[in-house]
Amino acid sequence: MPAETTHDAQTGTFKVAAIQMASGPNVAGNLSEARRLIARAAEQGARLVVLPEFFAIMGMTEQDKILVREQPGSGPIQTFLSDVARQYKIWLVGGSIPLAASSPDKVLSSCLVFDDEGTQIARYDKIHLFSLSMGNDSYDEAQTIEPGDKVVVVDSPFGRIGLAICYDLRFPELFRAMPHVDIIVLPAAFTETTGKVHWEILVRARAIENLAYVVAAAQGGYHVNGRETHGNSMIVGPWGRILDRLPRGSGVVIAEINPSYQASLRTGLPALEHRTLHSC
């Protein structure tokens, strides 16, 4: 990919975007909305764009996503991601989509990364599965989702990108297992119950402790299935400052990433080099 399409040749900076949606049960409708928002992000100069968790379907029941699951490398959702990445000449992080699992009544929640030629270059299967029983809120992803077991970091023209999904945010050891990561992408669909007290704190914490940029693309608003997601998609800098955010509704969050600034922080505060406790 030519350098001028990925960053400002004079400053070394480049733009990234997080897409926020309030997806419903209609896959075609969700893909149309995603295309519209991706086009807006590309028009504003974003070269790396991140979609939210299950951007293509938030079904009326948890089983609905099983009905539209795809085999790896084939299916309308994956074709959409490839085509849009190529059309807009962007690197596209495809939130998460339902891929076939080993069990016929479950899916993998898979985050796929496509380069600007539309080639899939990485896949991360969500490791930590959300469970909540609190008041009127009750969720158990393990009923319909099969967990992954591999940490994934992608080499890109923008630096090293670590992949995580939603509930993974609560497990800092996952991010510590990402070697030399510059950008963390986090597609999510945080509930309003947990999100209103934990989301911002956790996103900023992951940025600060890893001195990394975090691009958190969330579902945000009321869904036709009755669910309410917290939204507040945000891009956070390595010093923990929120560079842009969108509280609710569909839209685009966009910010500039400055690798030189990040490098200066890591030199001035070499906390990553001071680690003495490592997981076995």
Active-site positions? 53, 126, 166
The answer to whether 162 and 115 are in contact (CB under 8 A) is no
Residue showing tokens 């989702």: 145
User: How far is Cα 234 from Cα 216, in angstroms, rounded to an integer?
Assistant: 5
User: How far is Cα 21 from Cα 92, in angstroms, rounded to an integer?
Assistant: 16
Cα atoms in the 13 Å half-sphere on the side-chain side of 64: 13
Among candidate residues 195, 194, 186, 206, the one with its CA nearest the CA of residue 231: 195
Residue 118 carries which DSSP code?
Answer: S
Residue showing tokens 């003495």: 276
Q: Which residues contact 55 (CB under 8 A, 6 or more apart)?
A: 19, 21, 23, 30, 34, 94, 95, 96, 97, 187, 219
